Every structure is written in structure tokens, then in C-alpha cells.
Structure 1
């Protein structure tokens, strides 16, 4: 049995990517902490199916390590995003350089 009451669940939610309001049954649950099964004292965010398809199939290998390395959630959003974009660009440049030598 789930620890929440169905009476307390919202019937509509807002997609965090596009802002569209959709029925909860048509949304995909998103937990920014990566553990959607631990539900105690959590507020989830949601993606509509279209945004979920567009955003989620991308490779995530190493993403969690990168987020920890860049102190996600421990620094202000602007500083984190700047560091994230710079780091990803540097790593992408290294991949491109390796491809040139192959």
C-alpha cells in the first residue's frame, strides 16, 4: 500500500519543461533527487509525455558524478549553470579532438 491517500493527490499538474497544465494520469513523474521510490516528505515535479520523450532518452552516463563534482544544489543556479556549460563544452571538445585523430 502506498503511503499517501489518493484523495490528497492533485488531478492536474504542470510540466516543468513547457509549462503546460495536464492531467496527472498523463504526466511522467520526475524526482530531481533521483530516487522516486523514497516518497516520504517529497514533492515531485512532472513532465508531459512529449517533453519526457524529447528530454529523457539522452545518455546519462556520468551525469550524477558531474552534478556532484559541480556541487549541484550547493551553489546558486547561475553559477552552477555557468560551470556546467563550461565543463560540458570542454569535455565535448576533447571528444571531438579524439575523433579527429582516429
Structure 2
């Protein structure tokens, strides 16, 4: 028939972890919202297979929003860590949602 999408798509992507340019077929999609199955109007970032294997594949519910709220990548490391710690403590001390 038509062949797989992998063999038809010779595009290159950049790994968001190491910065290497790799063939799309040698990369894994990364969806910072954690919902890679809802593909409508979405652009994915990519990880090379080596960096993908090195990731922790545990659930990360709320992690991305916590990083955004902590100003990750927008301030120096000390300010980020202080804000991140403050938010974690606040979340830990708040009553669980029902």
C-alpha cells in the first residue's frame, strides 16, 4: 500500500534535551501538556531516542504548570528554586481536592 509514515517522512527534528538534530523517525514526541493522544492544533517537541530512554516515565500530573508558575527558564536558578519550593510547600499544606 502506501508504506508507513516513518518511511515517507524524512524530516529532521531537534531534541529538546541535548539539542542534536535527528531524523524524525529516530525521535519520540514530547507533549508538555501530557496528552499526546489529543493531536488537534498541536505542535510537538521531540526527544532523540537516547534522551527519551533517560527520562523518568512516572506520571507528572501538574508538573508542567508548576514549572511555568515557578518561572522555569525565565529567572536565575536560585530564584526558580525558591519559587518552586514555595509552591511545593503550599501544595503540600493545602487540603486534598475531592
TM-score bin (small chain): 0.5 to 0.7
Q: Is the 8 A contact 1:15 1:21 kept in 2?
A: yes
Q: Is the 8 A contact 2:66 2:84 kept in 1?
A: no
Per-residue deviation at 1:35? Answer: 0.4
Residue in 1 that maps onto 2:26: 26
Which of 71, 82, 85 aligns to 1:76? It is: 71
Q: Check 1:85–1:24 CA distance in 2 against 1; reply closer, same or farther (3 A cut).
A: farther
Q: Is the 8 A contact 2:10 2:24 kept in 1?
A: yes
Residue in 2 that maps onto 1:92: none
Which of 58, 61, 66 aligns to 1:64? It is: 61
Residue in 1 that maps onto 2:15: 15
- Count the aligned residue pairs: 76
Residue in 2 that maps onto 1:98: none
RMSD: 3.2
Q: Is the 8 A contact 2:67 2:84 kept in 1?
A: no
More helix as a share of residues = 1
TM-score, normalisation: structure 2:
0.58
Query: Structure 1 stretches of 5 or more lacking a match?
Result: 1-5, 89-102
Encode CA deviations 1:35-57: one digit per residue, 9 max, x unaligned: 0111111110000011111x32x
Encode CA deviations 1:41-85: one digit per residue, 9 max, x unaligned: 1110000011111x32x2635x324x37x7443453235554336
